[in-house]
Amino acid sequence: MMWVLGLTGGIGSGKSAASDYFAKLGIVVVDADIVAREVVEPGQPAWQAIREHFGPEVLQADGSLNRAWLRQKVFAEPAERQWLEQQTHPRIRASIIRQLQQAQSPYAILSSPLLFESGQAQLTARTLLIDVPEEVQLQRASARDGNDAEQIRRIMAAQLSRQERRTRADDLVDNSGSLEQLYAQLQGLHERYLSLSVEG
């Protein structure tokens, strides 16, 4: 069985910078966000269900999901978010497991913003949190996505609190400094994960 590291962090924490670094080291990264997009591509069963449930407003002209519309809808109405998660989460999980099993690297990484909330941490041997203070999250996420602060606060409120993530994670990297400082911390952890994956 493949040794799997769970990688997580709140919005704007630099989780993608971390997973890109591991990928450069030759580690297979299965990104739950990418898998989540794949399961709702036009023609997929989840896409069909979403279209039937929300009606034509949920689609763009090209048939793909109107994510901005859908995001607003589900963050405003918890029952709709629950319905959407019931459609997508089991399919996302099945695809993640399949991709992790096919990974050809010393260990594999499951990168997921909702690693703990979604129960995906159960698929991993260890978890690594990329951590920054909440004001840094807000600042970086606004600069990157052009989302307004209110929208980002709502996304943060739907995720576990920073304190809760810090309590649950096995390993923690502080990413409030430079990329070089992030990479230096990750390099040390990578060497540790290599030994752990050999031990099984």
Task: Give how far the C-alpha of residue 185 lies from the chain's centroid of Cα atoms, to the nearest Å.
Answer: 20
Classified as helix, coil or strand, 133 is: coil
119 assigned binding-site residue: no
Cα–Cα–Cα angle for 121, 127, 129, nearest 5°?
115
Rg for the chain, CA atoms, rounded: 17
13 assigned binding-site residue: yes
15 assigned binding-site residue: yes
From CA 61, how far away is CA 190, in angstroms rounded?
Answer: 44
- Burial (0-12, 13-18, 19+ Cβ within 10 Å), 33: middle
C-alpha torsion angle, residues 40, 42, 45, 51 (rounded to 10): 90
Binding residues: 12-17
Known binding positions for ATP: 12-17
